[in-house]
Amino acid sequence: MAVTQKLRDGAWRVVELITTPVVPADYLDVIAPLRNPTVLRARVDAVRSETAKAVTLVLRPGRGWQPHKPGQYVRVGVDVDGVRLWRAYSVSSATGRADGRFTITVNAVENGVVSSYLLNNARKGMLVHLDLPDGDFQLPEKRPAKTLFVTAGSGITPVMGMLRSALHELSDVVVVHSARTAEAVVFGAELRELAAQGRIRLIERHTGTDGRLKPAGLADLVPDLFERETWACGPGDLLDDLQEHWADAGATERLHVERFRTVVLVAGDGGTVTFEKSGLVVESAGGTSILDAGEAAGQLMKSGCRMGICYKCVLPMREGIVRDLRDGTITTASEVDGDKPLIQTCISAAAGPCRLDA
């Protein structure tokens, strides 16, 4: 068996040399883009309209995918005008679907490049890049006796993932949701059906007529407010107010918050590369790979082919922006957004300040 494997490996290397700079794996990726476990992708199997400004994408992930836990998010990468942009989206489907698929729900964001792109361009068959599910906005293994969800706008998406996965394990659930109008409530029909069945108590707040949801008014809506384990997701100012309100009541530990934010990164030419674990900081030119810049400064780094083929040099980028030296593709990462893509340091150059987990 060992001899057979060596012959197979040798034959593969010969084919790679013959087809360089395009390697056999590139051809296979065209034919079967979900087969490669080192480059996680998903195919859009369906696009479903939720509201005038929100769509749900049904995604079939490729090899290497690991199922999410209810409430977690997944980072999705799309190429927009030659720039690969990553954003985090909560998984809105129940965990453990029999068909192996999952859903994310994308809401329009003012000046949001990725959300606008997906709303206007997502079609069945489209490929997107993925990272593995992450996030600690989750229900505990021991379900609480009383649960409260406070959400606004797209903040309902992680909560919907929780309800679809675990509502049958929760006995007393109140959902307070705020949206501009009844028609703007994402998953409105499903939430109202759950309420009609008596499985949740749903309180809708329509800001177009009722005004903004204020924490001080929550006690009138939910009298046993601080007896409930509470999960909240929505705009930052709402979450700030909720955290202050719960802190004033001495109930901070009962409030669990998930925040969505956006960060804009502009590509330049070169930048400061910070290797966080070693503490090394390097000024790297735009035409120099991060691998070369790091090694020249004394950083110990894994490497292999140095051509972008073997992926032995990949490192997680916590924050920053890099350019692929082969085709100019830009990859960005924002710690605030939870982005932490793997970059190939042998073919990536700094296009601005960046921080690496190394």
Query: What tokens were used for 41?
Result: 């992708």
pLDDT in the model for residue 292? 93
Distance CA 26, CA 280 (A): 34
Distance CA 333, CA 320 (A): 5
CA-to-CA dists, residue 7 to 4, 16, 66, 125, angstroms: 5, 14, 32, 37
Query: H helices of 86-201, where?
Result: 113-121, 156-166, 188-196
Does the global pTM surpass 0.85?
A: no
CA 130 from centre of chain: 8
pLDDT in the model for residue 105? 96
CA-to-CA dists, residue 99 to 38, 103, 118, 251, angstroms: 22, 12, 23, 41
**Which residues in the chain come in under a pLDDT of 50?**
262-264
Place of tokens 């690969």: 84
Contact in structure between 349 and 285 (CB atoms under 8 Å): yes
Distance CA 298, CA 108 (A): 45
Query: What tokens were used for 350?
Result: 């700094």
CA 323 from centre of chain: 21
Taking the CB of residue 357, how many other CB atoms lie within 10 A of it? 12
Contact in structure between 356 and 316 (CB atoms under 8 Å): yes
pLDDT in the model for residue 112? 77
pLDDT in the model for residue 174? 97
